[in-house]
């Protein structure tokens, strides 16, 4: 049912949901994951994923009130609830909140994403749908779609890919589970989205946004090929050139400074305990979750895990802590954002 046909009540609900999404994004981007996990803001953050958004029976009651469909049992997980709202809104705007939940409480949300797999399924389905929609639009005298159609496509693609970007941070083993049975469909989505984004029907005014989306899609497709190669049925000769170029880039040896920057930034971003074999996270251990006072990069859920990691037989932290500290002292200020990598590399070169 088209959103425009849902009536005044649904239109008002759409406005409410849009305001909620904007408010939530603004709030989450201002809060650091460690601060939340360690309980520094208990007055503004829920204690479980089920408290994060209108969920379960409440979602069912609200949607039933607007006479949309029967959800008397409601979604069983927060992620499924986001997908339900996205189908209802016929937009990935709400779905894009998944990336914020993964940012602020990844270790709590990732198991739900892997278990339900509704997130990648929706991403594939919606991504192919918006590609089909833009391809069916009428073209003007310049062979381009109008600004409304182009803007909608670019925005919806960005919302969808914001979750794609978050899925790239999931450990390889979990990524395999997440994409089991659907990896080939995900690869087809990435390929089709690249082809659509490259189309001359998209006005040049959107080039910068389109280029960023194409790069992310190529990275995603490359990760699928390298993580779950046995599920890929597309012959190499038919793989899109942009994806092939990314595959060549990702397999080429990285300069030491760039490699160090990427690894240390990732280590500071994830919220799992760094002790080998420990399943705990910042969310499950709370205030006792602390960073190593030496390197200021890795973190542990307890003193016992820290001691275990320090003397681990395979990769004892004591062997690399001092070297990591030296690197962090030089370029630590540039590990927070991916776009600061060049500054990190420059500082490292100055120090050598």
Q: Give the pLDDT confidence of 171-195 residue by residue, as tens digits.
A: 777 888 889 889 999 999 999 999 9
Question: Above 70 in pLDDT, residue 2?
Answer: no
Question: Above 60 in pLDDT, residue 104?
Answer: yes
**In which residue are the tokens 């996205």 written?**
86
What is the predicted pLDDT for the residue at 34? Answer: 62
**Residues 273, 201 share a domain:** no
Model-level pTM greater than 0.85? no
Cα 16 from chain centroid? 24
**Residues 89, 49 share a domain:** yes
Highest mean pLDDT, choosing among 219-223, 274-278, 285-289 = 219-223
User: d(Cα 324, Cα 327) in Å, to the nearest integer?
Assistant: 5
Q: Identify the domain boundary among 116, 150, 167.
A: 116
User: d(Cα 56, Cα 75) in Å, to the nearest integer?
Assistant: 5
Q: Give the pLDDT confidence of 111-161 residue by residue, as tens digits.
A: 778 888 888 999 999 999 999 999 999 999 999 999 999 999 999 999 999
Contact, 30 vs 106, CB < 8 A? no
**Residues 105, 48 share a domain:** yes
84 — pLDDT class (breaks 50, 70, 90): confident
**Domain ranges, residue 93:** 1-116
Q: Identify the domain boundary among 61, 89, 116.
A: 116
Contact, 27 vs 44, CB < 8 A? yes
Q: Give the pLDDT confidence of 299-329 residue by residue, as tens digits.
A: 898 899 999 999 998 889 999 999 999 999 9
**Residues 288, 243 share a domain:** no
**Residues 244, 140 share a domain:** yes
R_g of the chain computed on alpha carbons: 22
**Residues 195, 107 share a domain:** no
Helix (H) or strand (E) holding 291: strand 290-291
Contact, 279 vs 311, CB < 8 A? no
Q: Identify the domain boundary among 74, 98, 116.
A: 116
What is the predicted pLDDT for the residue at 32? Answer: 66
Between 169 and 148, where is the model more confident?
A: 148
**Residues 187, 146 share a domain:** yes
**Residues 207, 124 share a domain:** yes
Please give, one letter per residue, the 3-state secondary structure of 81-132. Answer: HHHHHHHHHCCCCCCCHHHHHHHHHHHHHHHHHHHHCHHHHHHHHHHHHHHH
**Residues 153, 48 share a domain:** no
User: d(Cα 330, Cα 14) in Å, to the nearest integer?
Assistant: 48
**Residues 279, 242 share a domain:** no
- What's the angle, vertex CA 52, arms to CA 50 and CA 108, rounded to 5? 65
Give how many domains the chain has, as a whole number: 3
283 — pLDDT class (breaks 50, 70, 90): low
Question: Above 80 in pLDDT, residue 350?
Answer: yes
What is the predicted pLDDT for the residue at 77? Answer: 62
Give mean pLDDT, residues 4-22. 62
**Residues 178, 100 share a domain:** no
**Residues 245, 260 share a domain:** no
């Amino acid at each position: 049912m088209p959103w425009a046909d849902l009536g005044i009540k649904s239109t008002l609900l759409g406005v409410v949901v849009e305001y909620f999404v904007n408010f939530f994004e603004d709030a989450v981007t201002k809060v650091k994951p460690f601060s939340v996990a360690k309980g520094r803001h208990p007055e503004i953050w829920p204690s479980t994923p089920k408290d994060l958004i209108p969920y379960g029976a409440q979602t069912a009651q609200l949607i039933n009130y607007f006479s949309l469909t029967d959800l008397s049992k409601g979604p069983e997980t927060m992620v499924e609830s986001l997908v339900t709202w996205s189908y209802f809104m016929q937009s990935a705007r709400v779905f894009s909140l998944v990336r914020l939940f993964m940012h602020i409480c990844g270790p709590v949300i990732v198991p739900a994403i892997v278990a339900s797999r509704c997130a990648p399924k929706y991403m594939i389905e919606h991504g192919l749908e918006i590609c089909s929609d833009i391809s069916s639009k009428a073209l003007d005298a310049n062979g381009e779609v109008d600004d409304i159609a182009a803007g909608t496509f670019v925005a919806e693609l960005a919302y969808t890919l914001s979750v794609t970007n978050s899925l790239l941070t999931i450990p390889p083993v979990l990524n395999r589970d997440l994409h089991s049975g659907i990896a080939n469909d995900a690869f087809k989505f990435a390929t089709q989205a690249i082809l659509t984004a490259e189309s001359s029907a998209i006005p040049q005014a959107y080039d910068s946004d389109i280029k960023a989306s194409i790069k992310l899609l190529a990275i995603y497709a490359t990760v699928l090929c390298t993580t779950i190669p046995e599920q890929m049925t597309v012959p190499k000769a038919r793989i899109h050139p942009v994806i092939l170029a990314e595959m060549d880039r990702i397999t080429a040896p990285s300069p030491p400074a760039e490699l160090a920057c990427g690894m240390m930034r990732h280590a500071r971003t994830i919220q799992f305990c760094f002790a080998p074999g420990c399943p705990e996270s910042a969310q499950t251990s709370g205030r006792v979750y602390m960073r190593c006072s030496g390197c200021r990069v890795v973190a542990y859920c307890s003193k016992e895990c820290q001691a275990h990691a320090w003397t681990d037989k395979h990769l004892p932290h004591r062997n690399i802590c001092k070297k990591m500290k030296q690197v962090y002292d030089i370029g630590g200020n540039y590990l927070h954002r991916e776009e600061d990598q060049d500054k990190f590399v420059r500082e490292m070169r100055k120090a050598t």
